[in-house]
Amino acid sequence: MTSRALQFEHIVVTELPILCDDFNLETSARKKLYGYIKKLEQWMCGVLKWHRAVDRYKEFELRNNSSEKRLLQGPTGLGTAATQIRPSVGQKTTQTNVQPIVQNVLSSPTGLGTSGTKIGTLLGRKG
């Protein structure tokens, strides 16, 4: 938490003035930007006060649900199946006879995030 606060202060003191100069910001734009920075500082103070006052997300809860366990398991969730291709360290590998499916290679992509490839079809164009 301290390192994040110090990083924020460093950015405000050293990098923000350079950014303003690089973009040739006028005085009014700089005032707006620094006003926004002041609100961010107040928000950060408010979040800290909230966490100290509220009985949620205490250190013992975070330690019981630490990321160390998850890091050892590897990535999980949507879009991480490719990370499971290699066996884990110390795990035996078995040789399998996997035949490529040509139909999937020739067809248009399917799945999450591929709807853009179907726009041509919707417009009546052939792929």
Q: Please tell me what DSSP assigns to residue 110.
A: -
pLDDT score recorded for residue 54: 85
The string of pLDDT tens digits covering residues 25-55 is: 999 999 999 999 999 999 999 998 988 888 7
Residue 70, pLDDT > 90, answer: no
Written as six digits, the tokens of 16 are 């923000």
pLDDT category at 63 given cuts 50, 70, 90 is confident
Residue 59, pLDDT > 90, answer: no
pLDDT score recorded for residue 105: 47
Asked whether the beta carbons of 12 and 37 are under 8 A apart, the reply is: yes
Please tell me whether the overall predicted TM-score, pTM, comes out greater than 0.85 for this model: no
Span 81-88, average pLDDT: 63
Distance of CA 77 to the CA centre of its chain: 13
Written as six digits, the tokens of 40 are 């961010």
Single out the residue of 8, 77, 92, 86 nearest to residue 42, CA to CA.
8
Residue extents of the structural domains in the chain: 2-64
